[in-house]
Chain A
């Protein structure tokens, strides 16, 4: 493997890649947590609470993290102990697995694992988290947690379909399921012959992008689709019995998955790490920063919606998925296929 023209042996490369993923997920989660949860949300809500620790409240996250670490690790007597302990790890694991295929630079060195079925893989492992959620809800021996877990299962299954169908348009247009290939297709493509800025699929796949964002909001269980954790109904859903570090795991999982989905959306629809006129070494160096910038932009929309909207009811959520999103996604696929053949 070549990293900035320096040859790196296979074993070391694997180690570096693993380390990068291990660092990226918590860092991304904390970054989003800080920027959006603590800063943007507080400013939107005229709240002064998160302004106390450090200059402009910059150390609030550290304070929160330390608080979680100090908390007693409560495991209920009725709980199914091994499952209870394993559940947060399963949730976080699915987040780690998504990052494996997200490219941050050109070539095989820019991605941990350059899978040919990258999109397929990313969407598949993202739904692994539902297993962890179900485990958490079941093992907590709490009715609220169980209701939350069942809601999460129903919701994630329902929204997996529009999520996949929304991406099908992108795959059709790019002609590949490899994420590097999709990025390259956007950088080098053209919008009906006009290729000045390449072809970020957000323009040609706008329906797909909207569908993807709506479905991702549901996958992330963010408002208006946060019924599994609905704090005013189910208190905190499947997380209700978790304390301290285990709760922090769920927190990292939640925001890490938000990072992952934002990065995935940036890669699929906004051109990923690539900028239109940058190639070669410049792209390699700038790649990660460009991806982070685009990811933050997408995440901003995710959280903006989260802080603004009330929550739907479970049956309304299902009817939205099956009656609106899925027909629209199918229409998008037909449209994309037709144009692909004609143009």
Chain B
């Protein structure tokens, strides 16, 4: 397990901590709490170190945080350099292959009916807001994964997106394949990609309203019919503590 909690990158420590103070308090505290506080950024593997060195050379203090997570380097950058990231990753990192561009909404899943009613809308989820291994300051993030077909490495990039005007730069001029990914992210999260040539709905009908993958967009089927998942957990056969209680059917299997 190479899972490591991130700290702001060394080049950007002042900037990042300054902003980190402004965000809601649980996020950094939660993510840092379970592990002993590392003195600096966690050590990277050889490949990740090489990648990060190249990135740092190009992006400098625009890198806010980094982590090596299950063998993948995750780098969080300032949103204003998002489109530069594409260019840098294609040139300096030799990542010619675009895997995906997508978004994430860190808002805790709303509970229908409150906590004391038990789970009604979804499987048990902690209700605090966390922001993943590289931290974050906003509710929305965009993240993307690029890979190199020659060097066989890959990087995941993340960037915060402001709640008020969710917008980052488009990657389509560097990775033409980002076209559909960004359209999907736009319709699902309402995150706009500045510079995208034809932003229109991809999956959804043109008249669809709302952004379905946002956490506050309810899954209608779950609202109408409560989630039965945890209610009817039956005992495994042969488990001693449950055998004393006979089932109503009287089955003695």
Classify A-B as touching or not with yes or no (CB < 8 A): no
Which residues from chain A sit less than 8 Å from chain B, CB to CB? none
Which residues from chain B sit less than 8 Å from chain A, CB to CB? none
